[in-house]
A and B are shown apart, each in its own frame.
Chain A
Amino acid sequence: MAKIATSPVSLALRGTTLTYLGIMVILPLVALVTEAVTPGRQEFVAKLTDPFAWHALKLTFATAFVMVGINSVIGTATAWVLVRYDFPGKGLMNALVDLPFAVPTVVTGLMLVALYGPSSTLGAILNSNGLAVIYQPPGIVLALLFVSYPFVVRSVMPVLQEIDPAEEEAAKTLGARPWTIFRRVTFPTLWPAILTGTAMAFSRALGEFGSVVMVAGNRPLETKTGPMYVFGEIESGNRIGAMVVSTVLLGLSLAILVGLNALQRRPETRK
């Protein structure tokens, strides 16, 4: 029953902020999509199916998929351990989980190169055993794992904290064993949060550049990802190619965000 503000101040505030949003965000987006589709559908498809572009996109998806596969499990496990157990170093781990959000992406790449790169001891050992990480696709996955580690953890933790212990206790009194309790009682409450975190991580991975560019080696048809391809095309003056691949990557990221929004509006997942 709150008063709905219609005072001049409110209207001015609304006008200013919406204009800001329009100039800062909407206009650039519209510009990209418009310019990308202007040359026509044939040109769009041709630029997209260009073998170099196509490979870069495939590599981006493949690495992103591998990353979310690993992160959804490890992220959930991390959240579980942080919420449910007491152990030495818990405070440190809790603080460090957010580190990937704080560390600049270029620095992330450099960190991984410093440890796993060919000029480090560990990297040299890996290389000589045919397990090279840096400047190879596994390096890309590693960088993506790093930058998107907090997503699943931070999305699962609050849900885990809010679960009423009585639910699990009730299952226990009904004779359920621990694994059954997790599968039948805990997981059904948890999965929307896991999915949310995973989708955000995937969306982030589609666009990741700074860390990947440091560890990937930038070899076309081998280790060049979508965003790297876009950058290369900009550098070499081929804007159309850059815009087409950009539009596809952006469209997918947006679809994921919109889908997540729809998921969060569903009654059983709403808090």
Chain B
Amino acid sequence: MAITVRHLSKRFGSFQAVDDVSFEVPAGELVALLGPSGSGKSTILRIIAGLEDADTGEVELTGEDATNLPVQRRGVGFVFQHYALFRHMTIRQNIAFGLEVQKLRRPEIRRRVDELLDLVQLTGYASRYPSQLSGGQRQRVALARALAPAPKVLLLDEPFGALDSKVREELRTWLRKLHDEVHVTSLFVTHDQQEAFEVSDQLVVLNHGRVEQMGPPQWLYENPASPFVTEFLGAVNVLKLETVATIQPGHLGDPPLVLPGRSQSSLVYVRPHDLEITRSINGRPAWPSRIKKLTRLGGLVRLELVLDDGTNLLVQLTRESCLELALAEGESVFVTPKDMKVFHESASFVEDYAI
């Protein structure tokens, strides 16, 4: 394991920023710490870097205990959201800084800086100052600077947070490509699930300073362990059990979840793309509903439906199927859930139903 953290906790005054967090980052992987603001993700990253001390817990870097190691000797590369480039130094001097501290010889430094400039595609910019670069270029310089001393692990704190959306998308594709070339173990913090999905091999989902769930992004999406993870990883409809009970049975029998003895506080989650629209009952269980609003979003169409008991339901379907069904606002349709997740509040217990 390249990074191992065990039972990390950290308080700021009365605020529990990190609460008994443990996870591992396998060597060579790109892992995202994903969570809303205040979930403690940046603090964890700073503790791993040694910029912050944990109240309790351990940090191991490439198998060695680093808990009490000063920042300078941890061998981590750190990239800040706002780049933190040395403004009084040229791009070359910025990248060379870590190498000069290591007292490498000049030609060696020169060679390595050139190599990195090439890697981040900024070869012509060596003698410019940070203020002469665009946001995306600055962040690439910050990355090159962090990579220059060949760190054991690379830590990135919301690396794309300060960039506008177009540059951000380009840069994250680029980062993924770069990682596939360089293969340095990387841990990056983000609050953007899209970004986490696109870039990372593994996700660690955090909430209120605790780890909610870890795993590969797609696997987490399909197998969320908690309502929080389900809601955080994408749009979802939340239904009450009574609503589910109003479903009209199809020929294939009742949906298995509507059984007596269920806790009333249980909630049922259905993703908008897991709902199928039909003009008539076609043998499967379905709710009768009315189309309240139809919004075309290019290749996709978003429907807002109202069920008989007043529940609103968000449905997403492709432009083609919308055209095929010739849907329009105010019309009545049937809607079938293809996949539902039931969370029982009493126990951390999930049931998954595919129809």
Contacts and interface: CB of A to CB of B under 8 A. Distances in A.
Q: Is this pair of chains taken from one and the same complex?
A: yes
Interface of A: 1, 3
> What 8 pairs across the A-B complex have the smallest Cβ distances?
A3-B52, A1-B12, A1-B43, A1-B52, A3-B51, A3-B53, A1-B46, A1-B42
A3 B47 CA distance: 11
A120 to B, nearest CB: 50
Nearest to B46: A1
Contacts of B46: 1
B216 to A, nearest CB: 30
B241 to A, nearest CB: 42
Nearest to A3: B52
Contacts of A1: 12, 17, 42-43, 46, 52
Query: In terms of DSSP, what is the predominant structure of the interface of chain A?
Result: loop
Interface of B: 12, 17, 42-43, 46, 51-53
B9 to A, nearest CB: 15
9 contacts: A1-B12, A1-B17, A1-B42, A1-B43, A1-B46, A1-B52, A3-B51, A3-B52, A3-B53
Contacts of A3: 51-53
Nearest to B17: A1
Nearest to B51: A3
A1 B12 CA distance: 8
Nearest to B53: A3
Nearest to B15: A1
Chain B interface secondary structure, helix, strand, loop or mixed? mixed
Given A1-B12, A1-B46, A1-B52, 4 more contacts: A1-B42, A1-B43, A3-B52, A3-B53
A1 B17 CA distance: 10
A88 B111 CA distance: 52
A1 B15 CA distance: 11
Contacts of B42: 1
B66 to A, nearest CB: 17
A3 B51 CA distance: 8
A1 B51 CA distance: 11
A1 B43 CA distance: 9
A66 B74 CA distance: 65
A5 to B, nearest CB: 12
B158 to A, nearest CB: 14
Contacts of B12: 1
A234 B12 CA distance: 56
B182 to A, nearest CB: 30
Nearest to B12: A1
A49 B43 CA distance: 64
B52 to A, nearest CB: 6
Contacts of B43: 1
A1 B11 CA distance: 11
A165 B51 CA distance: 42
A15 B42 CA distance: 33
A3 B52 CA distance: 7
A1 B41 CA distance: 13
Contacts of B53: 3
A70 B310 CA distance: 72
A154 B128 CA distance: 33
Nearest to B10: A1
B64 to A, nearest CB: 23
A195 B87 CA distance: 35
A1 B53 CA distance: 11
A1 B37 CA distance: 14
A1 B40 CA distance: 11
B68 to A, nearest CB: 15
A269 to B, nearest CB: 27
A171 to B, nearest CB: 30
Contacts of B52: 1, 3
Contacts of B51: 3
B47 to A, nearest CB: 11
A3 B50 CA distance: 11
A51 B46 CA distance: 68
Contacts of B17: 1
A68 to B, nearest CB: 40
B189 to A, nearest CB: 13
B154 to A, nearest CB: 21
B16 to A, nearest CB: 13
A263 B180 CA distance: 56
B72 to A, nearest CB: 15
A3 B43 CA distance: 11
B344 to A, nearest CB: 37
A2 to B, nearest CB: 9
A1 B52 CA distance: 9
A239 B53 CA distance: 57
B80 to A, nearest CB: 13
Nearest to B42: A1
A3 B12 CA distance: 10
B45 to A, nearest CB: 12
A1 B18 CA distance: 13
B266 to A, nearest CB: 38
